[in-house]
Structure 1
Amino acid sequence: MKRLFTILTVALLTGCASIAEGPSASSVKTPSSFVYAPPQESRAPLSALLPNEDPAFQTLLTAIDTEAPDLQVALARVDAARAALRAAGAARAPNIEARGNAAYARSSENAVTNLPPGFAIDPTNSSFSAGINASWDLDLFGRLRATQRAAGLRLDAADADARAVRLAVVTDIARGVIDYRTAQAKLRIVEDDLADAASLAELTGKRTRAGITPGLDLVRAQSLEAAARSQRGPAEADLASALGRLVTLTARDGKSVAAAFIAPAEAGFAGEAPFALPSVLLRQRPDIVAAEYRLGAANADVAAAAAARFPQISINAALGLAALALGDVFSADSLTASLGGSIAAPLLDFGRVEAQIDARQADAKEAFALYRLTVFEGIGEAESALGNLQARRSRLAILETQLGIERDSLSLSTARYRMGLSDLLGVIDAQRQLNATRQSLVEAKAAAARAQIQVYRSFGG
């Protein structure tokens, strides 16, 4: 007994070597503010940055939780992490199993020699047994508790990953809606440009036939009409591209996606960017939250590996029945029982446990580095998104002013042409400039809308 106590004491002292505390998420310092932060009086919710007023967006969002392929993959990973947590919790409970056995054997009578005369043996033999065995790891030093804690944190990380995927799907659908509406707006502009070009060609034809203008003017007017018609193809291609992306994101067929856009809506919207600090991202961005959970799980793995230095103490018990005849199985004399305990501790493992601890500590360092990287990637994305939104809105305002100027220019050029004060070339140049500005304005509205969506995504939705 004294020798057993000595061995146990040595094992405990061996296991008591300290483990350095793992890296903490709180040690990551974030900037105090964003360079492109909006004014502090801006209190608009993040949801205002999405095209919520567009009926197509609302329709396409209705079934993403059950239909979106990317999200289904993430939710399956959550289920797997949940199962791993249940397994880790079950490992801390007693393990009870039932067993039964029945056997029949016959020996060869010819193989037995040197028996006394008249002595006979029974060549058959049978045995029956049934029992319940139980074992329980007491987990006095927390190895199983640390493993369960790590599994719980990985489940939280998988859940945060699913939220990140959902955020990505929602914002990708929002971009797809903006792209589809933009293509629709471009097609409407093409139709308007064609109508204006046809009207100009008709007017020029009349003036040419009357001998007021040269035939070259009619060619120029027809060229303008052809140029307007050539814009239809790219706009239709953009429409098809947006439709295809939305089909992939929502797992719907193309007809139902296109049907969602029957109700008209603006291609852009004007939500205000909310005021927020970089530290807010640590709580709102699901990818940062997931990285923090994984860091906690890695530190728990270090604790579990360190607990392997300590003895593993278990209680074992068995209760059963054993007999040579089936009819005797349930008699009192067939009862068997045992109760005991076991202890196992590393004595000379030649560094196996230390190597496992070093490996888990390296994993924790990697998890901390990935967490820090994720934090600054998020801050960088948010900074870029805020600056991009400011630049896009500034360009949009300039183009809106320019559109008014181009309309006035076309109106004046057309009036002078009708009065014979200028040639058709000035009208055509003004019309082409107006057409280009209108297309640029549509693109600028879409770019501003996409920038708003990126702000929403970069702040975690």
Structure 2
Amino acid sequence: MEYERMAAYHTTQTMLAESFRSLLFNNFFLLFAVVLSLEACTVGPDYKAPHSDLVQFHNSISVERRAGEPLPSLDHWWEEFHDLELVRIEQRVLMQNLDLKAAIGRIQQAHGAAEAAAAQMLPTLDFAPQVSAYRLSNEGLIGRMARNFPGYNRDQRAYDVHGAASWEIDLFGGLRRGHEAARDEAEAAIAQSAGVRVSVAGDAADAYFQIRGYQARLLVANERVATDSHLLDLVQQRRIRGVSSQREVDQAIALLQSARETIPVLRAALEVQLNRLDVLMGVQPGTYAHELALPSSVAIIPSIGNVTPADVLRRRPDVIAAERRLAASNARIGAALADYYPKLSLSGALGFQSLSVNKMFTPAGFQPASSGILRWRIFDFGKIDAEVHQAKGAYAEQLAQYRSTVLHAAEDVENAFMSLAQSEKRAEDLRTEVASLAEARDLSSQSYKAGIISLTDVLAADRQLLEAKDRQAENQSETARAAVRSFRAIGGGWEGSTN
């Protein structure tokens, strides 16, 4: 019995080998086509990255790295502010932000599409064992003919084990162009994810510096309320003594109310930024607000460094994504052009079929098959023309969008650099103004002690000084935000590119 099983096994192996050899010789022209496909040209234009004519940014000289300062890190630019609270916030944002998680999901989808496009160039193999049980009708064609034969049985079972393979030969590169397009789209998705990282990092820093700015302005506003309250008390006392008029009392009341009315506005704006920051960190608003309850001065503003247009084009994720989408649209032109040419598909099947399990894997139950299909849309060229025109139009659109993205990138850089430069210049003027008003307030205090001027004049000097300090606190926040916009405009905030 064992010998018979071994003999049947060897017989089956020999039969399979002979069948494959027969398929190879009988379908030699198909193999020749496969060899040709390996050397076949790929139709459609080969992609060339567009050239940019950007010249040096005319506002870059105002924010360049100062002599002796180290080159700032663009990958983690927030560390250049030397603010530990800001660094902790950025770490949370980059780990917990939900927009970033969604971007990662889009990358996975794009990679899946690229892998599917690559798989279309490979053969497919299906294995489908099947068992069927059925009862013949005695009144049917087969039943009427066979029911009178000896051994006839209406109940039958069929056993079928086969594997089928198919392969579309990419003679003219249509599938390869499709794979190129999907691969380029995946790279664009990666760049878009980097863009989301740049965006959320910049938004978090922007919210943080606004929070610090509003907190500083609230401190000044409270000092103004205290000063104007003192002034009102003084004027009312003078009114009781008949020294001041009711008009002076009304003016003091108006000044106090003006100081008080700024506090609710500042508190509401502060709350908005605290909630914004919590959402950026992927948590419910109010979760981390208590950690920023204590006011803190705005950090030192770092210099940006020497930035060239080439740096911006290399680092800006939106520019990179636009260029990759342009490459994908170029590849789709080739995919559309490939439809002008014939497509060749090979298919083959090897299997065993029998009404009995015992005779399944025998030469009698073996049934191979092979075929080659040539498909050519020879009477559909009008539709192919339209598809090619559509692909070329999409390329022209992507080219215009790429150039527009480059120009908008340059615009962002110029605007951010100008805003930073002017904010820093205003900061110098405000420092001078605050210093002068502080000295004037001190002189007024000395004059009051000497009996030369009244306390009203001293309080007025205090109020002028506090108003200047409020503008200074606001400008410090705006300067930090302008620095954030500058780092963001040049594509800072993601790793994997050259500084």
TM-score between both structures, scaled by the size of structure 1: 0.86
1:92 aligns with 2:121: yes
Q: Give 1:87 deviation, angstroms.
A: 0.6
SS in structure 2 at match of 1:341: strand
The whole-number CA distance in structure 2 between the counterparts of 1:116 and 1:89 is 52
Aligned pairs for 1:3-402 within 5 A: 24-38=48-62, 42=66, 44-45=71-72, 46=74, 52-109=81-138, 122-197=153-228, 214=244, 224-262=255-293, 265-402=296-433
SS in structure 1 at match of 2:161: strand
**For residues 76 and 20 of structure 1, do their structure 2 counterparts lie closer, same or farther at Cα, with a shift above 3 Å needed?**
closer
Q: Which amino acid aligns with 1:148?
A: H
1:305–1:360 Cα contact (<8 Å) kept: yes
SS in structure 1 at match of 2:134: strand
Q: Tell me which residue corresponds to 1:452.
A: 483
The whole-number CA distance in structure 1 between the counterparts of 2:427 and 2:439 is 19
The whole-number CA distance in structure 1 between the counterparts of 2:115 and 2:459 is 74
Q: Give 1:397 deviation, angstroms.
A: 1.1
Q: Which amino acid aligns with 2:62?
A: P
The whole-number CA distance in structure 2 between the counterparts of 1:116 and 1:435 is 111
**For residues 51 and 232 of structure 1, do their structure 2 counterparts lie closer, same or farther at Cα, with a shift above 3 Å needed?**
farther
Aligned pairs for 1:377-456 within 5 A: 377-456=408-487
2:78–2:86 Cα contact (<8 Å) kept: no
Q: Give 1:38 deviation, angstroms.
A: 3.2
The whole-number CA distance in structure 2 between the counterparts of 1:205 and 1:347 is 99
**For residues 160 and 175 of structure 1, do their structure 2 counterparts lie closer, same or farther at Cα, with a shift above 3 Å needed?**
same
SS in structure 2 at match of 1:231: helix
**For residues 289 and 296 of structure 1, do their structure 2 counterparts lie closer, same or farther at Cα, with a shift above 3 Å needed?**
same
Q: Give 1:49 deviation, angstroms.
A: 6.5
The whole-number CA distance in structure 1 between the counterparts of 2:380 and 2:288 is 63
Q: 1:258-290, CA deviations, whole angstroms, 9 ceiling, x for partnerless residues?
A: 233256532253211322122321101010011
Q: Which amino acid aligns with 1:101?
A: Q
Over the residues paired in the alignment, what is the CA RMSD in angstroms?
3.3
The whole-number CA distance in structure 1 between the counterparts of 2:145 and 2:207 is 94
Identify the range of structure 1 (345-354 vs 152-161) with the bigger mean alpha-carbon deviation.
345-354
Identify the range of structure 1 (34-43 vs 410-419) with the bigger mean alpha-carbon deviation.
34-43
SS in structure 1 at match of 2:310: helix
Q: Which amino acid aligns with 2:468?
A: T
The whole-number CA distance in structure 1 between the counterparts of 2:223 and 2:385 is 76
Q: Give 1:205 deviation, angstroms.
A: 7.5
**For residues 118 and 260 of structure 1, do their structure 2 counterparts lie closer, same or farther at Cα, with a shift above 3 Å needed?**
closer
Q: 1:286-341, CA deviations, whole angstroms, 9 ceiling, x for partnerless residues?
A: 10011001111111111122222222222222110111234432333211112343
The whole-number CA distance in structure 1 between the counterparts of 2:283 and 2:118 is 40
Q: Give 1:345 deviation, angstroms.
A: 2.6
Q: 1:422-456, CA deviations, whole angstroms, 9 ceiling, x for partnerless residues?
A: 34543343233222111111111111111111111
The whole-number CA distance in structure 2 between the counterparts of 1:128 and 1:255 is 68
Q: Give 1:64 deviation, angstroms.
A: 2.7
**For residues 279 and 108 of structure 1, do their structure 2 counterparts lie closer, same or farther at Cα, with a shift above 3 Å needed?**
closer
Q: Give 1:255 deviation, angstroms.
A: 4.1
**For residues 78 and 116 of structure 1, do their structure 2 counterparts lie closer, same or farther at Cα, with a shift above 3 Å needed?**
closer
Instruction: Extract unaligned runs of 5+ from structure 2.
Output: 1-28, 493-499
The whole-number CA distance in structure 2 between the counterparts of 1:440 and 1:40 is 26
**For residues 368 and 122 of structure 1, do their structure 2 counterparts lie closer, same or farther at Cα, with a shift above 3 Å needed?**
same
The whole-number CA distance in structure 2 between the counterparts of 1:150 and 1:290 is 13
Identify the range of structure 1 (300-309 vs 336-345) with the bigger mean alpha-carbon deviation.
336-345
Q: 1:77-109, CA deviations, whole angstroms, 9 ceiling, x for partnerless residues?
A: 111001101111111111000113333333443
2:228–2:463 Cα contact (<8 Å) kept: no
Q: 1:343-399, CA deviations, whole angstroms, 9 ceiling, x for partnerless residues?
A: 223322242222222111111111111100000000011011111111111111111
Identify the range of structure 1 (236-245 vs 100-109) with the bigger mean alpha-carbon deviation.
100-109
The whole-number CA distance in structure 2 between the counterparts of 1:223 and 1:368 is 60
SS in structure 2 at match of 1:252: coil
Equivalences, count: 449
The whole-number CA distance in structure 2 between the counterparts of 1:411 and 1:204 is 21
Q: Which amino acid aligns with 1:56?
A: E
1:25–1:368 Cα contact (<8 Å) kept: no
1:221–1:428 Cα contact (<8 Å) kept: no
The whole-number CA distance in structure 1 between the counterparts of 2:146 and 2:455 is 136
